[in-house]
Amino acid sequence: MRTSLNQTIKNPEVFKQQLLCWAQQFDDVVLLDSNDYKDQYSNYDAVLAVDAFTSLQTDYIDAFERLKEYQKTTKDWIFGYLTYDLKNSIEDLESKNFDGLGFPDLYFFQPKKLILIKGDVAEFQYLNMVDDEIESDLLAIEQSSNINIQESKHPIKIKPRIHKDEYFEKVNRMLAHIHRGDIYEANFCQEFYAENSVINPLEVYNKLNQISKPPFATFFKSFDKYLLSASPERYIKKEDDKVISQPIKGTAKRSKNEKEDLRLAENLANDPKERSENIMIVDLVRNDLSHTATKGSVQVEELCKVYSFLQVHQMISTITSKVSEDIHPVDIIKTTFPMGSMSGAPKISAMKIIEDLEETKRGLYSGAVGYFTPKNDFDFNVIIRSILYNETKKYVSYSVGSAITAKSNPLKEYEECLVKAKAMREVLES
């Protein structure tokens, strides 16, 4: 059981920063921040969960069944992540590529302390065992400051896992699969990394969030492992009997010149290659949602709409379905995972080819982070535009990718990857 207390806050932006600074004392921290981005499916402006009471950590074997049992037993808020490699739990697949980060395949925890922000109200939801700490925590939060956070003085030397010529060769091999009819589309990703590197995760997250302002920003800490995410993409959400998926496919750079910027957005909206990418994934998501949907309830609410973020223009579609009460929420995720926007079509064939051509185990990249509520609702983002850090190994990593279709030009795909990587590189090398 949880004790709930509402507190009016003067400045939500300042309060979020204070919350994050205060939260650094805990081993388990999740901040989910919408950066005031509001659409019809928004519930909170930000959510902070800290201090695990119970937790679940596992490899991919029977991972979804274990998560289902944990979620059913807990009957409470749980926060955590699903790595891309949980695909091996669903299909006869494997992940044998290099892994410099070492994140567990699945991790969720039940927070003792939960703070939900909406407008100028912060709702404190504490487990009863710690509810006597709400007042003292509120005082400590209001006194928190990032003034004492040391900036990283060591320059980070970023290296590509796949060099440019090798990237072209691999994309051409993927195009050969497409022309042969093995697949229609696949998301091909590459890692950029730094070894023997020390960063200040809070400082890096703040800089990344500041220059991107995405709707699904995440600061995630589990002991010595960090996810610092500026994701613009929702993977999947359940609210009552409605399920919402919002895949992104199609990217264009921004321009400081207003007319040029508008032209870039219009070009993206009308680009046949980008639209075909998006529509293929919409079809895949419709099929995935149909596994748990009530008959005839899968709908495309929005197709190929261009949204503008600080770093890029993105083409987003919204697909929804209805589910009956007897469908377990974890089964909705299992039957749609990994998300179509980060795999390809047909999904299983695409994932096999991806594994063969990529050099790095994806791990948390192109997985999902989010939460389940006590009412069996959930909301998860797609882990892209994200920096991953293993503090013990001193290993820093970010990955970027693009969708390869029959109309792909390897040079343009490479350039798209660099556009997506721009914010992460700037933050780490500044």
For residue 189, which amino acid is it?
C
C-alpha span between 384 and 249 (Å, rounded): 12
Among 112, 113, 237, 249, which one carries the catalytic annotation?
A: 249
Residue 67's region, left for phi above 0, alpha for psi from -120 to 50, else beta, is alpha
Whether 249 sits among the annotated catalytic residues: the reply is: yes
DSSP single-letter state for residue 152 = P
C-alpha span between 125 and 119 (Å, rounded): 17
236-263: buried (b, 16+ CB within 10 Å) or exposed (e) per residue?
Answer: bbbeeeebbbbbbbbbbbbeeeeeebee
Whether 415 sits among the annotated catalytic residues: the reply is: no
Among 16, 170, 225, 233, which one carries the catalytic annotation?
A: 233
DSSP single-letter state for residue 128 = G
C-alpha span between 388 and 367 (Å, rounded): 12
C-alpha span between 108 and 106 (Å, rounded): 7
DSSP single-letter state for residue 162 = S
**Three-class SS of residue 122?**
strand
Beta-bridged to residue 126, according to DSSP, are 3, 113
Q: CA gyration radius for the chain?
A: 21
Instruction: Based on DSSP, count helices (H) and strands (E) in the chain, helices before strands.
Output: 11, 20
Catalytic residues: 233, 249
